[in-house]
Amino acid sequence: MARRKIVAGNWKMNMTPSEAVKLVAELKDLVVSDSVDVVYCVPAIDIVPVVEAVKGTNVQVGAENLYIEDKGAYTGEISADMLVDAGVKYVVIGHSERREYFGETDEFLNKKVKKAIEKGLTPILCCGETLEQREMGVTMDWIRLQIKSDLAGVAAADVANLVIAYEPIWAIGTGKTATSDQAQEVCKGIRDCIAEMYDAATAEAVRIQYGGSVNAGNAAELFAKPDIDGGLVGGASLKADFGKIVNY
């Protein structure tokens, strides 16, 4: 069965609640699609108004983070149950910004992946190499290490349903996109890694996005590649261009 494409916006730390509602309204008619899953991954404080604002549309809402415990004395954190109750379907886990600025380790991210799955959220698990790693020729070794650690102990059936985002760190917010061949090579490498860890059917089912300076001009070429099942879009998800990316 062909994998359904999934185009997700990662709003990062942008959009106040009132700006968020305005953006959803602006994008409403532009992101309509029968053939692509569309997701807005939004700041925690925007989740409730955005879930309300997308009602009756094809857009689903994702969170940008979650905590590994169910409840209790974890000031400032947000649980999976809170996300589910608010109407969230997806959650970004292991974005390079969280790994780099907030010290999130693969061991911690593995717990987040398991918690999300336990609660019925679909993880969008991010991985990617630095420019230095790419130049040293260790890109695939590094990404395989991330995938194996982040998915340790996760069942095949759950892996089949998740989304993995390949985001080369040197392409994030830099305007410097990986070429479609570079992106395809790594996305195929990730699929091969899943096949080794699990089986061919799981590898065929898992959806793998590319992220890193995706825009209205390069989306079609990237998404046409056989192992790229859509994109995780930062900057361009905050403007009308996102509609062009969805309808690439």
Which amino acids are annotated catalytic? 95, 167
- The Cα–Cα gap between 157 and 151 comes to 12
| Other residues' Cβ atoms within 10 Å of the Cβ of residue 191 | 21
Is position 167 an interface residue for ligand 13P (rule: CB under 6 A)?
yes
- Interface stretch with ligand 13P, choices 20-28, 31-39, 202-210, 228-236 (CB under 6 A): 228-236
Is position 233 an interface residue for ligand 13P (rule: CB under 6 A)?
yes
Nearest C-alpha neighbor of 171 from the set 218, 106, 203: 218
Is position 213 an interface residue for ligand 13P (rule: CB under 6 A)?
yes
Is position 246 an interface residue for ligand 13P (rule: CB under 6 A)?
no
- The Cα–Cα gap between 122 and 162 comes to 6
> Measured at CB, which residue is nearest to ligand 13P?
234
Handedness of CA 47, 53, 55, 56 (dihedral sign): negative
Smallest distance from ligand 13P to CB 125, Å: 12
- The Cα–Cα gap between 235 and 12 comes to 9
- Taking the CA atoms of residue 40, residue 204, residue 248 and residue 175 in that order, the dihedral angle to the nearest 10 degrees is 70
Q: Are 3 and 229 in contact (CB under 8 A)?
A: yes
Is position 173 an interface residue for ligand 13P (rule: CB under 6 A)?
yes
Tell which one of 5, 6, 7, 10 touches ligand 13P (CB under 6 A).
10
- CB nearer to ligand 13P: give 202 or 233: 233
Q: Are 169 and 130 in contact (CB under 8 A)?
A: yes
Q: What are phi and psi of 144, to 5 degrees?
A: -60, -40
- Interface stretch with ligand 13P, choices 104-112, 132-140, 196-204, 232-240 (CB under 6 A): 232-240
C-alpha pair distances (Å), 237 with each of 56, 97, 160: 20, 17, 26
Is position 232 an interface residue for ligand 13P (rule: CB under 6 A)?
yes
Residues 192-211 touching ligand 13P, rule: CB under 6 A, are 211
Smallest distance from ligand 13P to CB 119, Å: 22
Tell which one of 91, 125, 186, 214 touches ligand 13P (CB under 6 A).
214
Is position 79 an interface residue for ligand 13P (rule: CB under 6 A)?
no
- CB nearer to ligand 13P: give 67 or 210: 210
127, β-bridge pairs: 166
- CB nearer to ligand 13P: give 123 or 212: 212
**Which residues of this protein are in contact with ligand 13P, per CB under 6 A?**
10, 95, 167, 172-173, 211-214, 232-236
